[in-house]
Amino acid sequence: MKKAYLGVDVGSVSTNLVVADEQGEILESLYIRTKGQPVKAVQDGLKKLGDKLGADVTIMGVGTTGSARNLTSVLVGADVVKNEITAHAVAISRIVPGTQTIIEIGGQDSKIIIMRNGIVTDFAMNTVCAAGTGSFLDQQAYRLNIPIEQFGELALKAQTPVRIAGRCAVFAESDMVHKQQLGHSLEDIIAGLCDALVRNYLNNVGKGKEILAPVVFQGGVAANVGIKEAFAKALQLEMVIPKYYDVMGAVGCCFLAMEATRHKTTKFKGWQAAEFKFRPTSFECKGCPNLCEVIQVYENELIVARWGDRCGKWSNASLNEKVC
């Protein structure tokens, strides 16, 4: 029976699960669409991993990250819960030692992480505008009736890329329509969009940051060779895309779990957690003017966690205590 660690990264677009052994070798990885149902996505992932690895590995530790990291920690029984910046930085420091810049673009947000000597020294995130994210690229590929997998390849065939206004998703789309009406080729328009999205990223997320090589490009959008080439052209630097570029947050959670459980017993609930009945609910605390929205999670009809209150009244209270 091999000892291993589980990392789970749950975001608005994708849910990623990774199992790594004690040497840091990835035994299995899953990329699942969240589809607005994080509980179902996590449980589906647990079931698939359990069916495939359950008899061969013993999970010694679990780490969670992503926008639903707190909920996920309750579902699986996590030993460590960290933000995405930490998870990605830990993963890259192990997978691509010496990295100085991490460019990460996912389905709904994008971020840049500046590292020096293996330590995060600066970072920035963009969670407001959709321009430059995977969901926007998916939307444009659908509008153009092109499989998203072919999007980047078509961009590389461009002869004279057009300039697209990429500062805003709405303006970018209307500008693309205008360029189509003028008769520009599909390849030139797509290449122009890739250039515009990279320009938008560097002018907003990367503004004021010292981008030094090696530069690692990760997240789901890293699969788009058109965006990769647009970054390489804009920065005049080679872009390094790691093998597990789309699940690096979960990879980092594996390494974090190793450290967190070095001298402890894991809280992992087992693969059978895939069959548990979880039900997240919320209520507004009226104990003070803050009116905090408190999240509480039921597991098989028992409250197993609460969070969201600023003062700790509910998150620190007995789970049997009734809501106000």
- Say whether 201 sits in a helix, a strand or coil: helix
Domain ranges of the chain: 2-91+249-275, 97-241, 277-324
The Cα–Cα gap between 88 and 253 comes to: 8
Residue carrying the six token digits 């010694």: 60
Look at residue 247 and tell me whether its pLDDT is greater than 60: yes
Q: Specify the fold of 2-91+249-275.
A: Nucleotidyltransferase; domain 5 (3.30.420)
Residue with the bigger pLDDT between 305 and 96: it is: 96
Q: Each residue of 225-238: pLDDT tens digit?
A: 999 999 999 999 99
Which residue, 190, 171, 170, is CA-closest to 180? Answer: 190
Q: Residue 113: pLDDT band by 50, 70, 90 thresholds?
A: very high
At residue 319's C-alpha, the angle toward residues 315 and 320, to 5°, is: 145
| pLDDT level of residue 248 (50, 70, 90 thresholds) | very high
Contact 158, 187 (CB under 8 A): yes
Model confidence over 99-110: pLDDT tens digits? Answer: 999 999 877 788
Find out whether 64 and 76 touch, Cβ atoms under 8 Å: yes
Averaged over 176-201, what is the pLDDT? 85
Please tell me the predicted confidence (pLDDT) of residue 260.
95
Answer yes or no: is pLDDT of 32 > 60.
yes
Mean of pLDDT values over 242-256: 95
Q: What counts of helices (H) and strands (E) characterise the chain?
A: 9, 13
Q: Are 202 and 234 in contact (CB under 8 A)?
A: yes
Q: Which comes out higher in pLDDT, residue 245 or 109?
A: 245
Q: Is the pLDDT of residue 277 over 90?
A: yes
| Cα angle value 106/123/216 (rounded, 5°) | 55
What pLDDT is recorded for position 321?
Answer: 56
Q: Is the pLDDT of residue 288 over 80?
A: yes
Q: Give the pLDDT confidence score for residue 323 in this predicted structure.
A: 52
Q: Which single residue is written with the structure tokens 């969201």?
A: 308
In this chain, the answer to whether the domains covering 2-91+249-275 and 97-241 adopt an identical fold is yes
Nearest to 65 by CA among 251, 296, 303, 317: 251
pLDDT of amino acid 307: 81
pLDDT tens digits, one per residue of 210-222: 999 999 999 888 9
Please, what is the Cα angle at 178 between 175 and 182, to 5 degrees? 140
CATH code of the domain made up of 97-241: 3.30.420.40
- For 149-172, what is each residue's pLDDT tens digit? 788 888 888 888 888 876 666 677
pLDDT of 48 over the 60 cut: yes
Q: What is the pLDDT of residue 130?
A: 60
Query: Across residues 276-302, what is the average pLDDT?
Result: 89
Report, as an integer, the average pLDDT of 200-205: 87
